[in-house]
Chains A and B, each alone.
Chain A
Amino acid sequence: MSTTKKFLYVNRKAPYGTIYALESLEVVLIGAAFEQDVSLAFIDDGVYELTKGQDTKDIGMKNFSPTYSALGDFDVSKIYIEKESLEARGLTLDDLLDLKYEDEDDDYAEKDSIHVVSRDELADIMDEQDVVLSF
């Protein structure tokens, strides 16, 4: 029986322009099988990964944004978005996907996965982690 560690995946890149966003998502999904305490942070251009209404049919790339909605099924239910990064890009929570998870300890009630946090709060969250992986 191994001990559970706190893992944080930090996402800082816009989708499609580079491969980082998709690579990060794939690592998160593979890592989910190891049942660790996983959180995701979206800062800087990483907040663009979660915009809703992405439609890639005219650029010939796979739209992987629907997969973020499956994260709750993989027990990834802590998603932190840095408030300052959203604001610098003229975005609000309404522009982002509505990510939910079912809380097994609360009769499978559907709850929000996304938490908008300030830069200071995020610094504290990062500080608490055993492992931080940055993309």
Chain B
Amino acid sequence: MAKLHTVNKSPFERDALEACLRLAKKGSAVLLIEDGIYGAMSGTAISDKVKQAMSDVSFYVLGPDVAARGMKEDKIIDGFKIVDYNGFVDLTTEYDGVHAWL
């Protein structure tokens, strides 16, 4: 049961991303959307924690939400895959259910 976890809150305002990383099983995927995309940026107070989780979990970030917030794609942590809305839909079908962290 490899799940797709979505996180839509900023990691600096809520602990949704940290809770998700604590409980996501090996082989599952994490997709950062809306204010969650700040967790995909390098050089932040939380980026080391995200990098550590990369050995067990696949990371995705929603491109339109990155662009809307003026974040630069070249500052996204290496290993993240950028997806559009179609990619979001594909991920939901690839994995066994979605766990939306709020």
A interface residues with partner B (beta carbon < 8 Å): 13-18, 44-45, 48, 51-56, 58-59, 61, 63, 65, 88-90, 95
- Cross-chain contact B64 with A59 (CB below 8 angstroms): yes
Closest 5 CB pairs of A and B: A90-B43, A17-B35, A51-B70, A58-B64, A54-B70
Which of A52, A63, A90, A95 makes the CB contact (< 8 A) with B44? A90
**Among B8-16, B22-30, B90-98, the stretch in contact with A:** B8-16
- 0 or 1 for each of B39-57: is its CB under 8 Å from A? (1 = yes): 0011111010000000000
Total number of residue pairs linking A and B with CB closer than 8 Å: 70
B68 at the binding interface (Cβ < 8 Å): yes
Which of B12, B41, B42, B68 makes the CB contact (< 8 A) with A45? B12
Interface of B is mostly: loop
Q: Chain B interface: which size bin?
A: 20 to 34
**Could you list 9 A-B pairs, sorted by A, with CB under 8 Å?**
A51-B70, A58-B64, A59-B64, A88-B45, A89-B41, A89-B44, A90-B42, A90-B47, A95-B70
- Cross-chain contact B70 with A52 (CB below 8 angstroms): yes
B72: chain A residues at CB < 8 Å are: 53
